């Protein structure tokens, strides 16, 4: 027999809590610990107005930011992984895919889009960190490759914005093959004499760094982005040495010749447009330039895949 009985329903707790402090209205900046109003961040391309800390952009925010008036056409949005290995680690890969889809509303970790950058048409691929850490699986590889092939067919430049933890190990060797596949497609783009700009954002690591992210005609990094192959912790444990200050950050890599430019996000679009203006002829290029371009300019190992 119960001594006390709840005769009434409990006070409506959860509804009350949510109404007091709307979630995500204020953000604490990890750079300067300042509390920033979310709308101020949004109008500032998610860059802290006080210290310039770059918050992570979603892939959709990224393409909106790069294209004129945020207008673009998305391609191959329906490509989805089939979980070929029926892989399970701490949880099934199929569950991770489902969680990623629910979190981002996307089928996989990349947006492939065409639009105009300061009037010039371009193909942009933007990786989505919110989808299994922006990892590169079969779908990401296929979409980037299709983007490059589209660029070759329509004579457009390619911009890939990396934001990734590397190859998606739940797809095993298939994910690693994407490195070669995308690199081979980029070699064909090079032979067609079309520019490829790589934008490296926080974080760009693993197989993404080891393939297309470092193959740009221009490699542009956002400030203070973590860029590397293995993470700093793994390297320190392997070589048993303390790494230098700022190791694997954009500025360190610029100093050591790994990236060409470090550009603030607020100036990124202008920098890309300027580079494209420099690399591409103002008038429409002649069609035969594809055939007459020198194959000697590309690495020989890519020749067989063309």
Proportion of the chain in helix, strand, coil states, percent, rounded to 5: 40, 20, 40
CB of 52 to Zn ion, least distance (A): 7
CB of 279 to Zn ion, least distance (A): 34
Determine if 29 is a binding residue for Zn ion (CB under 5 A).
yes
Centroid of chain to Cα 203 = 9
Q: What is the token pair recorded at 234? A: 């793994």
CB of 89 to Zn ion, least distance (A): 36
Q: Which is nearer to Zn ion, 56 or 75 (CB)?
A: 56
Q: Which is nearer to Zn ion, 50 or 269 (CB)?
A: 50
Q: For residues 133 and 175, what is the distance between their CA atoms, to the nearest angstrom?
A: 14
Q: What is the token pair recorded at 275? A: 């580079």
Q: Which is nearer to Zn ion, 216 or 223 (CB)?
A: 223
Assess contact for 135 and 165: CB atoms under 8 A: yes
CB of 49 to Zn ion, least distance (A): 8
Q: Which is nearer to Zn ion, 50 or 146 (CB)?
A: 50
Which among 165, 153, 225, 161 has a CA at the least distance from the CA of 196? 161
Q: Which is nearer to Zn ion, 50 or 116 (CB)?
A: 50
Phi, psi of 234 (to 5 degrees): -65, -40
- 29-37, 215-223, 231-239, 273-281 -> range binding Zn ion (CB under 5 A): 29-37
Contact flags string 234-273 toward Zn ion, x per CB under 5 A: ----------------------------------------
Site for Zn ion in 32-71 (CB under 5 A): 32, 48, 50-51, 53
Alpha-carbon separation of residue 171 from 146, 156, 228 (angstroms) = 20, 31, 22
Determine if 31 is a binding residue for Zn ion (CB under 5 A).
yes
Assess contact for 227 and 249: CB atoms under 8 A: yes
Which residues contribute to the site for Zn ion (CB under 5 A)? 29, 31-32, 48, 50-51, 53
């Amino acid at each position: 027999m119960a001594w006390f009985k709840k005769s009434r329903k409990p006070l409506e707790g959860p509804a009350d809590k949510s109404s007091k402090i709307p979630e995500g209205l204020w953000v604490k900046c990890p750079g300067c610990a300042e509390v920033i109003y979310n709308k101020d961040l949004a109008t500032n391309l998610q860059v802290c107005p006080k210290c310039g800390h770059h918050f992570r952009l979603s892939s959709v925010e990224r393409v909106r930011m790069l294209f004129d008036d945020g207008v673009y056409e998305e391609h191959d949005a329906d490509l989805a992984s089939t979980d070929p290995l029926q892989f399970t680690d701490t949880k099934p890969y199929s569950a991770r895919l489902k969680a990623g889809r629910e979190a981002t509303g996307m089928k996989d970790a990349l947006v492939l889009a065409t639009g105009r950058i300061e009037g010039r048409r371009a193909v942009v691929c933007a990786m989505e960190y919110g989808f299994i850490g922006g990892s590169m699986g079969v779908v990401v590889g296929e979409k980037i490759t299709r983007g490059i092939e589209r660029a070759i067919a329509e004579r457009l430049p390619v911009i890939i914005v990396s934001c990734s933890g590397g190859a998606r190990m739940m797809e095993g060797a298939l994910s690693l093959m994407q490195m070669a596949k995308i690199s081979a497609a980029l070699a064909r783009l090079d032979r067609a004499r079309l520019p490829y700009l790589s934008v490296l954002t926080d974080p760009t690591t693993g197989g993404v760094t080891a393939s297309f992210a470092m193959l740009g005609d221009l490699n542009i990094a956002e400030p203070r982005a973590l860029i590397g192959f293995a993470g700093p912790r793994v390297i320190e444990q392997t070589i048993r040495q303390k790494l230098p200050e700022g190791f694997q950050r954009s500025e360190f890599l610029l100093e050591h010749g790994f990236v060409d430019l470090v550009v603030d996000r607020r100036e990124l679009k202008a920098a890309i447009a300027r580079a494209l203006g420099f690399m591409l002829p103002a008038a429409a290029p002649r069609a035969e330039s594809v055939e007459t371009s020198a194959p000697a300019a590309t690495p020989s190992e890519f020749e067989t895949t063309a």
